[in-house]
Amino acid sequence: MTGCAGFIGSHLTEALLADGIEVLGVDCFNDNYGRAQKLRNIDIARDWDAFEFVPIDLARGSLDDLVGECDMTFHLAAEPGVRPSWGQRFELYTRNNVLATQHLLEAAKHRPGQRFVYASSSSVYGQAEKLPTHESATPAPFSPYGITKLSGEHLCDAYHANYGVESVVLRFFSVYGPRQRPDMAFSRFCTAALAGLALEVMGDGGQTRDFTFVDDVVAATRAAAAAPGVTGRAFNVGGGSRTTLNEAIGLLGELSGRGLSVRRRERQRGDVRDTGADIAAAAQALGYAPKVTLSEGLTAQWEWAEAELARSPARGG
């Protein structure tokens, strides 16, 4: 499990451990957000004897021994986020999204028959011409981040075609829930609301996203490690519907019982107008069916944010 101390990776790690699966978790605590939050993310996993943590940087050196110890690989480590991917930080995107993926695949190529699940992103589609978007749409990333995630997909395809690596690509759509990265919209909204500050919205708030609760993403990812006939393919993993940012804020106001104020900022470069996942292929091949409604999932994230603030009041600003 790479990126085990991250938002999604930590949930997947716990789900596997809870089912009696041994997890070798890798993370290098890169600086996209605080090390303290990432350490807290693996607090629960560390209580399991079946969890081994390996604090290494995937972009450095050979990973043969590491991959050799495992029966399958979940590759979630990455430099995520659209907005910081412009400018100087792009170097980290190429390093952590392209080079790190190539290093892992180099190790995986010696182990045919081993499943390799790669966490990709809806960002590969860019400004989608058709919504919901089917996997057959031609990818046209709108940000440097999307370009690096698509490069990772192409690497998976090339190692699959040439070396028989059993790669499966999953395109996650706007994942949310407890432990969400602090740079993501719902996280920023919860933190601002708890501090009694205005919620900053980039653009007019009419942009739509296919929000996907983290437990649903975990279920799809686990299915991709076991389902027959899925290697060499890409699947959308979405929540099943589209919601505007303004609607999501309305919902947050209702469930938190707080009057929320909004401050509008300029639309950010790289942000697409709409995302929507056609999940028919994932339903058919992976048995995927998102279970958590936006209202349930956002309530869970709000309650987590409240608990985090109670634990560490400095976080609320």
Ligand X SMILES: NC(=O)c1ccc[n+]([C@@H]2O[C@H](COP(=O)([O-])OP(=O)(O)OC[C@H]3O[C@@H](n4cnc5c(N)ncnc54)[C@H](O)[C@@H]3O)[C@@H](O)[C@H]2O)c1
By the rule CB under 6 A, 7 interacts with ligand X: yes
Q: How far is the CB of 216 from ligand X (least distance, A)?
A: 12
* Vertex 258: Cα angle to 254 and 262 (nearest 5): 95
β-sheet bridge partners, residue 243: 209
Dihedral over Cα of 193, 197, 201, 205: its sign: positive
Select from 192, 159, 215, 316 the least CA-distant residue to 265: 192
Q: Which of 1, 6, 63, 194 binds ligand X (CB under 6 A)?
A: 6
**Quick check: bond before 182 cis, omega within 30?**
no
What x/- string results for residues 96 through 125 when contact with ligand X is judged by CB under 6 A? x---x------------------x-x----
The yes-or-no answer on residue 163 being catalytic is: no
Q: 145, 159, 176, 288: which one is catalytic? A: 145
Residues 173-232 that bind ligand X (CB under 6 A): 174-175, 181
Q: Which of these ranges, 55-63, 82-90, 125-133, 221-229, lies near ligand X under the rule CB under 6 A?
A: 55-63
By the rule CB under 6 A, 85 interacts with ligand X: no
Instruction: Give the pairing of strands 233-237 and 199-202.
Output: unpaired
Eight-class DSSP state of 260: -
Q: Give 190's contacts (C-beta < 8 A, 6+ positions apart).
A: 252, 301, 302, 305
Q: Which of 13, 42, 80, 230 binds ligand X (CB under 6 A)?
A: 80
Q: Which of these ranges, 4-12, 187-195, 223-231, 248-256, lies near ligand X under the rule CB under 6 A?
A: 4-12
Q: Which residues of 172-205 are buried (b: 16+ CB within 10 A; e: fewer)?
A: bbbbbbbbbbeebbbbbbbbbbbeeeebebeeeb
Q: Which of 57, 64, 106, 274 binds ligand X (CB under 6 A)?
A: 57
What is the SS3 assignment for 8? helix
Q: Which of these ranges, 20-28, 46-54, 62-70, 289-297, lies near ligand X under the rule CB under 6 A?
A: 20-28
Q: Which of 51, 142, 172, 213 binds ligand X (CB under 6 A)?
A: 172
Q: How far is the CB of 132 from ligand X (least distance, A)?
A: 16
In which residue are the tokens 């370009």 written? 147
Query: Which residues of this chain interact with ligand X, rule CB under 6 A?
Result: 2-3, 5-9, 26-30, 32, 38, 57-59, 76-80, 96, 100, 119, 121, 149, 172, 174-175, 181
- Residues identified as active-site: 145
